[in-house]
């Protein structure tokens, strides 16, 4: 359950807590608590976010866009898109399969399977990269064999893709699982009884029910895939224009004292993060609506 | 749990087979490879690396700063969750959504932004320096970055518990003569504590392994501001694969212990929650309408 309780979408339609005098605090205490909480969030979240955009535009809009004409920057953006483009669909297919088998069936070892799927959440990104170096690197277990066959994985694109897959491994499964479990098996059983095939049932019954959770899982997985730094840094080898992803390119620019360019590239990733948060809000709202309708419909069936 | 009647749903074999296959390919085999590599070390070699003064200094920083950051998040996380659930104020939804920012923002972006803010000439680093506090390139800077990284955990574990909380308990406490503070410490705190501690453990676990957001602000001086994940990278860059593996194994074992503790905490917190909830007694609590209908004038 490690990282999940937190990243998961929450569908608790807020009723608005109706406070009475006995169960709330004096106005002064209330405002002090609100001020303290907002000050904390302001300093730790809004200030860093603001700094990214302000610094990126420090030398004007023209300079901002000039950063994206640099061939190394463009190569980094392309590699990031490629790595996410491979990692996200693979993890999506895995996530759907895992959520299906865990959510719809009872079997021995289910708890262990869930824990193992969560494992990449609790492994340091640096260790995530290291395990692939130890497997595929020059000194690694498969290293000599790979060299003999002229296959490069570490310090090359395949290593970056593998590390990206590893760190974003649990996201889709983790978002889908609670939704698939909450839906129960009745609708699928009804579809099968009425003669639908397994795939038809899955595509027409299960998928529409969990589409919002799936969408959020994919978006979150994508944001993490594009933003991964530690694991990718270990396997990349930092070859400019070849094995640099956007986060690694940010590091290079920053260490070269090209702060404004570093923040310009960072602003793209920050926009991606903001977009992810917006999608999350929309998905929470949508699945709240869906749940509400379902409960209303259930209520009409059994008066 | 023994399976009583077989499900008629199809795809069990295919889905389970694929899940296990992909899990082995991406996660289990590479992890096993590392333990295999580590098993080639003698105990003496392993201990020599893991207990070297530089490594011990890095554990002290990584674990110490993570602990302080998680404690900050424990206190402020409960506060933020409380304010978001119980009070109304302009922009509440915005603040609620932004809590997840540290999950979505790439760590390198957070790292350079925080360093710019807390550098001696930065927005907050300047004022801090004028009162004699250096933030960036010190253990304080590491703690700030780790606080950022762990911020959502406690908020997001405590929030649903507060939302589910039955107001009856507080009313009962109030009618029995307890003040708000007493109600909070005796009634509310025990209820949210398991969730808060789970969030604390998650924030701590995440912080210990964190790399991207820390290395920019840390200064990375051996023995002083070098975190354990950076030490692994340093060893790798020196082609010291043995050293890197030994420290990585030590870290990995530590994170497995955390995973176990978190799972146990969640079991505990789950049992505490259901034990305290009147809803589980079913028909006794007649009003089973969903929460949004009860308050509703929609």
Which sequence spans correspond to the domains of chain B? 56-102+151-211+227-271
Residues 6+ apart with CB under 8 A from A130: A234, B34, B232, B236, B244, B245, B248
Q: Please indicate if any CB of chain A lies within 8 Å of the CB of B244.
A: yes
CA distances in angstroms from B4 to A104, A183, B1, listed in the order given:
14, 20, 9
pLDDT at residue B294 in the model: 37
Window from A202-216, B3-17, B32-46, B203-217 with minimum mean pLDDT: B3-17
- Cα A251 to the center of its chain, rounded Å: 21
Q: Please indicate if any CB of chain A lies within 8 Å of the CB of B110.
A: yes
- Six-digit token pair at B139? 């253990």
The span from the CA of B141 to the CA of B146, in Å, is 9
* Domain formed by B56-102+151-211+227-271, architecture: Orthogonal Bundle (1.10)
The span from the CA of B85 to the CA of B190, in Å, is 17
Of the candidates B14, B241, B255, the beta carbon closest to that of A122 is on B255
pLDDT at residue A36 in the model: 96
Residues of B in contact with A108 (CB under 8 A): 1
pLDDT at residue B269 in the model: 66
pLDDT at residue B270 in the model: 65
Q: Please indicate if any CB of chain A lies within 8 Å of the CB of B176.
A: no
Residue B82 reports pLDDT greater than 70: yes
Say what the pTM is.
0.87
CB B136 within 8 A of CB B123: no
First-to-last alpha carbon distance for chain A, in angstroms, is 37
Query: What is the pLDDT averaged over residues B175-180?
Result: 84
Number of Cβ within 10 Å of residue A10's Cβ equals 18
- Cα A124 to the center of its chain, rounded Å: 16
Residues of B in contact with A134 (CB under 8 A): 30, 33-34, 37, 241, 245
* Optimal mutation site among B6, B7, B9, B232, interface A, most CBs of chain A within 10 A: B9
The span from the CA of B240 to the CA of B227, in Å, is 17
Phi, psi for A219 (deg, rounded to 5): -65, -45
Window from A129-133, A223-227, B137-141, B237-241 with minimum mean pLDDT: B237-241
CB A133 within 8 A of CB A154: yes
Residue B231 reports pLDDT greater than 80: yes
Q: Is the dihedral of CA A196, A197, A202, A208 positive or negative?
A: negative
H helix intervals, chain A:
4-7, 27-41, 47-56, 60-67, 71-104, 110-122, 125-136, 143-148, 157-167, 171-183, 186-193, 198-201, 207-227, 230-236, 246-255, 259-301
CA distances in angstroms from B199 to A4, A5, A27, A38, B153, listed in the order given:
11, 9, 29, 20, 5
Please tell me which residue, B273 or B79, carries the higher pLDDT value: B79
pLDDT along chain A (303 residues), means of 10: 51 53 80 95 96 94 92 94 97 95 90 88 92 89 89 92 95 90 86 88 89 91 94 88 92 94 96 93 84 74 53
Percent helix, strand and coil across chain B, each to the nearest 5: 75, 0, 25
CB B77 within 8 A of CB A41: no
Class of domain A61-301: mainly alpha
* B205·A198 Cβ contact <8 A: no
Closest approach of B215 to chain A, Cα-based (Å):
10
- Six-digit token pair at A256? 């070269």
pLDDT at residue B167 in the model: 81
Could you tell me the pLDDT band of residue B164, with boundaries at 50, 70 and 90?
confident
Number of Cβ within 10 Å of residue B36's Cβ equals 14
- Contact map slice: B 266-295 vs A, CB within 8 A: 266, 290-292, 294-295
Closest by Cα among B91, B14, B103, B179 to A175:
B103
- What are the structural domain ranges in chain A? 13-56, 61-301
Q: Please indicate if any CB of chain A lies within 8 Å of the CB of B64.
A: no
Closest approach of A71 to chain B, Cα-based (Å):
21
| A109 Ramachandran zone, left/alpha/beta (phi>0; psi -120 to 50) | left
- Quote the DSSP letter at residue B10: S
- Quote the DSSP letter at residue B281: G
Residues of B in contact with A130 (CB under 8 A): 34, 232, 236, 244-245, 248
B116 three-class SS: helix
Closest by Cα among A216, A208, A209 to A184:
A209
Residue B99 reports pLDDT greater than 60: yes
Closest by Cα among A100, A18, A14 to A288:
A14
Closest approach of A70 to chain B, Cα-based (Å):
19
Please tell me which residue, B23 or A181, carries the higher pLDDT value: B23
Could you tell me the pLDDT band of residue B166, with boundaries at 50, 70 and 90?
confident
pLDDT at residue B95 in the model: 94
Could you tell me the pLDDT band of residue B229, with boundaries at 50, 70 and 90?
very high
Closest by Cα among B58, B32, B25, B27 to B245:
B32
Query: What is the pLDDT averaged over residues B115-129?
Result: 93
Residue B289 reports pLDDT greater than 70: no
* Optimal mutation site among A126, A140, A259, interface B, most CBs of chain B within 10 A: A126
* Counts for chain B of helices (H) and strands (E), in that order: 16, 0
Residue B70 reports pLDDT greater than 80: yes
The span from the CA of A173 to the CA of B115, in Å, is 34
Chain B residue with the nearest C-alpha to that of A222: B104
Average pLDDT, chain B: 85
Number of Cβ within 10 Å of residue A144's Cβ equals 11
* Optimal mutation site among A3, A5, A55, interface B, most CBs of chain B within 10 A: A5
The span from the CA of B67 to the CA of B61, in Å, is 10
CB B119 within 8 A of CB B193: no
CB B64 within 8 A of CB B139: yes
Number of Cβ within 10 Å of residue B77's Cβ equals 29
- Quote the DSSP letter at residue B105: S
């Amino acid at each position: 359950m490690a990282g999940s309780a937190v990243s998961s979408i929450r569908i608790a339609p807020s009723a608005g807590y109706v406070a009475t005098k006995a169960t709330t605090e004096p106005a002064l205490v209330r405002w002090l608590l609100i001020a303290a909480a907002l000050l904390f969030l302001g300093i730790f979240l809004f200030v860093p976010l603001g700094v990214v955009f302000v610094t990126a535009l420090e030398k004007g809009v023209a300079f901002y866009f000039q950063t994206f004409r640099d061939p190394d920057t463009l190569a980094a953006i392309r590699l990031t898109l490629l790595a996410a483009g491979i990692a996200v669909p693979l993890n999506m297919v895995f996530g759907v399969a895992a959520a299906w088998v865990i959510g719809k069936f009872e079997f021995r070892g289910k708890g262990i399977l869930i824990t193992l799927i969560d494992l990449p959440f609790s492994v340091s990104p640096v260790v995530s990269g290291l395990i692939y170096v130890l497997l595929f690197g020059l000194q690694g277990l498969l290293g000599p064999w790979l060299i003999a066959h002229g296959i490069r994985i570490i310090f090359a694109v395949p290593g970056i893709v593998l590390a990206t897959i590893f760190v974003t491994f649990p996201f889709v499964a983790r978002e889908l699982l609670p939704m698939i479990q909450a839906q129960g098996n009745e609708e699928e059983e009804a579809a099968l009884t009425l003669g639908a095939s397994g795939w038809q049932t899955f595509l027409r019954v299960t998928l529409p029910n969990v589409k919002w959770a799936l969408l959020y899982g994919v978006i979150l997985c994508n944001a993490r895939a594009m933003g991964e730094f530690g694991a990718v840094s270990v396997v990349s080898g930092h070859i400019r224009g070849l094995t640099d992803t956007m986060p690694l390119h940010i590091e290079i620019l920053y260490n070269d004292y090209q702060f404004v360019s570093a923040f310009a590239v960072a602003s793209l990733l920050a926009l991606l993060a903001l977009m992810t948060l917006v999608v999350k809000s929309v998905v929470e709202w949508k699945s709240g609506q869906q749940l509400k309708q379902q409960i209303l419909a259930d209520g009409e069936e059994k008066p | 749990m023994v399976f009583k009647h077989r499900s008629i749903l199809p795809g069990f074999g295919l889905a389970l087979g694929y899940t296990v296959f992909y899990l082995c390919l991406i996660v289990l085999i590479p992890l096993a490879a590392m333990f295999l590599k580590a098993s080639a070390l003698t105990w003496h070699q392993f201990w020599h690396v893991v207990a070297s003064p530089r490594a011990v200094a890095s554990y002290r920083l990584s674990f110490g700063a993570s602990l302080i950051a998680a404690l900050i998040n424990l206190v402020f996380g409960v506060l933020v969750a409380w304010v978001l659930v119980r009070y109304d104020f302009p922009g509440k939804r915005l603040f609620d959504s932004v809590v997840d920012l540290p999950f979505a923002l790439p760590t390198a972006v957070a790292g350079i932004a925080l360093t710019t803010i807390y550098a001696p000439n930065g927005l907050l680093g300047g004022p801090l320096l004028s009162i004699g506090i250096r933030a960036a390139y010190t253990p304080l800077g590491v703690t700030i970055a780790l606080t950022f990284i762990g911020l959502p955990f406690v908020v997001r574990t405590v929030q649903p518990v507060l939302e589910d909380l039955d107001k009856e308990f507080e009313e009962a406490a109030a009618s029995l003569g307890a003040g708000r503070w007493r109600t909070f410490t005796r009634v509310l705190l025990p209820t949210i504590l398991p969730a808060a501690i789970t969030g604390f453990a998650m924030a701590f676990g995440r912080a210990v392994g964190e790399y991207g957001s820390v290395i920019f602000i840390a200064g990375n001086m051996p023995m002083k501001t070098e975190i354990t994940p950076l030490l692994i990278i340093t060893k790798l860059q020196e082609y010291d694969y043995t050293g890197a593996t030994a420290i990585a194994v030590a870290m990995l074992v530590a994170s497995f212990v955390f995973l176990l503790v978190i799972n146990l905490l969640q079991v505990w917190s789950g049992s505490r929650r259901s034990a305290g909830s009147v809803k589980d007694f079913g028909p006794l609590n007649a009003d089973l309408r969903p929460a949004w209908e009860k308050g509703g004038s929609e």
